[in-house]
Copies of this chain bind each other. A is one copy, B any other.
């Protein structure tokens, strides 16, 4: 048996490590096109900010570690240019061919330049690899830019804006759609706008940038551009090999993370996963999902039996110290998915007033027909991750609003209010159901 994994970051390494656990004797090779493996891509904005001092701190494991500790061969600078599935071979750029019995495709995604003219100018950066972040940090140090335009208000866009602002730059974010954070949600967008503007970052939604000039982008004067307008899954070699794509144009898999080709698995930012709220495929590329789906792909590719039941779409992003967390669907997304949603939004203190709490916003979205919770938003300095995770658990458990309202949540003045904001939101939602 030989397992080949294409891609040496989150999904690929999770797959390889899990495969080793399942089969101690399996020959496992990981092929990574870049110079390093196992880096925390989500940490790049904090390296740009300067909070993380060295890019190398973002590297979790080295190829040597995998070789020695896991007996997994990891090759960097090994770009796969095609998959010859009938012969069970991958072909490297060098011409070398490597045989596999089972294959895990974890080729990730790449920034989408949206065909913007000038995207390759020297003052234009993406934040996708360690190299990207080091180049940007070097540019900040050497060129001392004063005005930045960030194209795209997804997670990386707002994190980059936060990082650049903390470095003293004037920052404008330009977003094509009317909403931020990849979520159709005017209330969330308004809250993010409020927080960005309170910290001097200008947010312009509904504005497309067609061209980047040396001293401006989309007509906004600047000497630095961060391109974070979206992702495109790296699926070309898979598609050429006959791997089928889903409607999102990422790779379609079953719940074992197997593609339409037997023995070929896919996971991570190149693949769809099941959305547990709708039980339909979704493309929501995130590191947590990559790790989980990668583990499942690796287990099955090594002869184990594992299922990935899917995600509910949970994420959080920090903007100048405030967490903006979402799970499931917003009202507008829920409508688009065919629900008849109803929502309640409250603001409440995270602790008793006498102890000095901070305010947090909670929005819950339910399906009117079934009374089932299908989404939520939590915004706050304090406990946003914990609260969104409670909602995420409820979505997975298909909890009704009345069940959620009865949750036995922890209370003590230093940590929580007697009625947690989650429960106040549920009580409010019960009135409208």
A→B interface (CB under 8 Å): 10, 40, 42-43, 46, 51-52, 57-58, 155, 276, 286-289, 291-292, 308-318, 323, 325, 327, 352-355, 383-390, 392-394, 396-397, 399, 403, 406-416, 418-420, 422
Q: A26 → chain B, closest Cβ, in Å?
A: 19
Decide if the interface of chain A is mainly helix, strand, loop or mixed: mixed
Tell me whether A412 and B317 are in contact in the complex, defined as CB-CB below 8 angstroms, given that A52-B354, A383-B386 are known contacts.
Answer: yes
Q: Are A413 and B317 in contact (CB under 8 A)?
A: no
User: Across the interface, do B390 and A327 meet the contact criterion of CB distance under 8 Å?
Assistant: no
User: Known contacts being A352-B43, A354-B46, A399-B397, is A389 close to B409, with CB within 8 Å?
Assistant: yes
Q: How far is the CB of A96 from chain B (nearest CB, A)?
A: 32
C-alpha spacing A147/B327, complex, angstroms: 51
Q: Which residue of B is nearest A58, CB measured?
A: B354
- The answer on a CB contact under 8 Å between B410 and A389 is yes
Please, which residues of chain B bring their CB within 8 A of the CB of A418? 10, 40, 42, 287-288, 291
Which 5 A-B pairs rank lowest in CB-CB distance, beginning with the nearest? A386-B386, A397-B397, A316-B410, A318-B414, A385-B415
CB-defined A-B contacts under 8 Å, sample of 28: A40-B352, A40-B418, A42-B412, A42-B413, A51-B355, A52-B354, A52-B355, A57-B353, A57-B354, A58-B354, A287-B411, A308-B406, A311-B408, A312-B408, A316-B410, A316-B411, A383-B383, A384-B415, A385-B412, A386-B390, A387-B389, A390-B393, A392-B407, A392-B408, A393-B393, A396-B403, A396-B406, A397-B399
Q: Max chain B CB contacts within 10 Å: which of A155, A353, A354, A394?
A: A354
Docked CA distance A78–B116 (Å): 76
Find the B residue at minimum CB distance from A422: B389
Known: A383-B386, A387-B389, A389-B390. 11 other contacts (CB 8 A): A40-B418, A58-B354, A291-B418, A315-B411, A316-B416, A318-B412, A325-B415, A392-B407, A392-B408, A393-B394, A397-B403
Which residues does chain B contribute within 8 Å of A394, judged by CB atoms? 393, 397
Neighbouring B residues of A415 by C-beta, 8 Å = 316, 318, 323, 325, 384-385
From B51, B308, B327, B385, A383 is in contact (CB under 8 Å) with B385
Closest to A275 in B: B408
Pairwise interchain contact A309-B406, C-beta atoms closer than 8 A: yes
Contact A40 B413 (CB under 8 A): yes
Closest CB-CB distance, A246 to chain B, in whole Å?
A: 19
Closest to A409 in B: B389
Q: Is the CB of B406 within 8 A of A397?
A: no
Determine the residue in chain B with the shortest Cβ distance to A315: B410
The answer to whether A314 and B409 touch (CB under 8 A), given A288-B418, A394-B393, A397-B397, is yes
Query: Shortest CB–CB separation between residue A218 and chain B, in angstroms?
Result: 28
Query: Please, how many angstroms separate the alpha-carbon atoms of A289 and B408 in the complex?
Result: 8
Chain B residues whose C-beta falls within 8 Å of the C-beta of A311 in the assembled complex: 408
A354 touches B40 (CB 8 A): yes
CB of A299, distance to nearest CB on chain B (Å): 12
B residues within 8 A CB of A42?
352, 411-413, 418
- Given A46-B355, A352-B43, A355-B52, verify A407-B411 contact (CB < 8 Å): no
CA distance A385 to B46 in the complex (A): 26
Interface centre among A316, A318, A409, by most chain B C-beta atoms within 10 angstroms, is A409
Q: Nearest-CB distance from A341 to chain B (Å)?
A: 20
Across-interface contacts of A276 in B (CB, < 8 A): 408
Give A393 Cβ to nearest chain B Cβ, in Å: 4
**Are the C-beta atoms of A291 and B383 separated by less than 8 Å?**
no
Asked whether, in the complex, the Cβ of A291 is within 8 Å of the Cβ of B406, the reply is no
CB closest chain-B residue, reference A273: B408
A268 → chain B closest CB, angstroms: 13
